[in-house]
Chains A and B, each alone.
Chain A
């Protein structure tokens, strides 16, 4: 049996990156959110948030929709079905990892 820490490598790095984990965690709790909300929630600059959203969109985890509300351009972000599944799976993995870490003893694994 591998040490729990070795299983860290099995985590999806695209989702596990802290900013993207926060974005996906927020999006998993709603139907959709706009760019401003995600920016306020993460504290990221517009450029950094755009960059993270582009990566998530390229991976098919979110869908981005741009539209005008009156004369104001708005960017809406929605998690895809794959995105919801990915974040749920990620949290499950993290929880398992946490549990395994609590139960793990170096002797039992031969470390």
Chain B
């Protein structure tokens, strides 16, 4: 047996259990929306102040609609999986009771108290790593994103941005880039897990990385 067999089967298990999260293109519109929001709120933005909120709502609405369309495309192209009820209950609880409240508090601290370090940076770094681990592991690009967010914590100290709104806006921009690039790379990893379908009905059709089906 080739030594990569257990790893390939582990990957099959991880992808099936977390299929929704590996559909990376779903996250790209949201990433682009966050980039637009960050740009429109930036110091050099030509968008008038009064247009910022409607633009935010419109961008998010378009992103959610696009994400739903992409979700249907995934179902048509890669099939459907229904998860085991309650399988992700712990992750969902942790997300709503720990991660989101922590992010909210961190954003409030950064926005109101304007500390010389970006508290949201290190909080997002931890959140992204927790997301990566709880959705099937792998995907080294999220480790890089996590390190980038941890480094972003020092952005105000290093004078890369002003504490407060400027720093939060920078964070939203980097988060948008993470969603966009991470989503594209997630999709690439997903397509790597799925081998090309062998449409010739021979008794020797193979499973990529798993061996002969004989």
- Tell which of A18, A35, A41, A44 touches B16, judged by Cβ atoms closer than 8 Å: A41
A93 within 8 A of B: no
* A40-B78, A52-B213 known; A22 vs B9 contact (CB < 8 Å): yes
Do B199 and A45 touch across chains, with their CB atoms under 8 A apart? yes
Chief secondary structure at chain A's binding surface: helix
Known: A21-B9, A22-B9, A25-B13. 20 other contacts (CB 8 A): A19-B213, A22-B12, A25-B9, A25-B12, A29-B13, A30-B82, A30-B84, A33-B80, A34-B80, A35-B79, A36-B80, A41-B15, A41-B193, A43-B198, A44-B197, A44-B205, A44-B207, A45-B197, A45-B198, A45-B201
A38, B205: Cα distance in complex, Å: 14
In the bound assembly, the distance between CA atoms of A102 and B150 in angstroms comes to 40
What CA separation (Å) do A43 and B12 show in the bound complex? 12
A18 and B82 contact, CB distance less than 8 A: no
| B75: min CB distance to chain A, Å | 9
Distance A79 CA – B108 CA, assembled complex (angstroms)? 47
Enumerate chain A residues within 8 angstroms of B207, measured Cβ to Cβ: 18-19, 22, 42-44
On chain B, the residues within 8 Å of A18 by CB distance are 5, 207, 210-213
Cβ-closest chain A residue relative to B203: A48
Could you mark each residue 166-200 of chain B with 1 if its beta carbon is under 8 Å from any beta carbon of chain A, else 0? 00000000000000000000000000011111111
Total interface residues in chain B, CB < 8 Å? 38
Q: Please, how many angstroms separate the alpha-carbon atoms of A15 and B128 in the complex?
A: 36
B39 to chain A, nearest CB (A): 37
Contact of A48 among B8, B193, B205 (CB under 8 A): B205
A-B contacts, 8 of them at CB < 8 A, read: A27-B16, A30-B17, A34-B79, A34-B81, A42-B210, A45-B198, A45-B205, A48-B205
Docked CA distance A21–B10 (Å)? 11
Evaluate contact between A45 and B16: CB separation under 8 angstroms: no
CB distance from B20 to the nearest CB of A (A): 11
- CA distance in complex: A60, B105 (Å): 52
> B214 CB to closest chain A CB, in angstroms?
8
Q: How far is the CB of A9 from chain B (nearest CB, A)?
A: 15
Contact partners of B151 in chain A: CB under 8 A: none
Closest to A48 in B: B205
4 residue pairs, one from A and one from B, having the closest CB atoms: A37-B79, A36-B79, A43-B195, A47-B201
A29 vs B213: C-alpha distance in the bound complex, in angstroms?
21
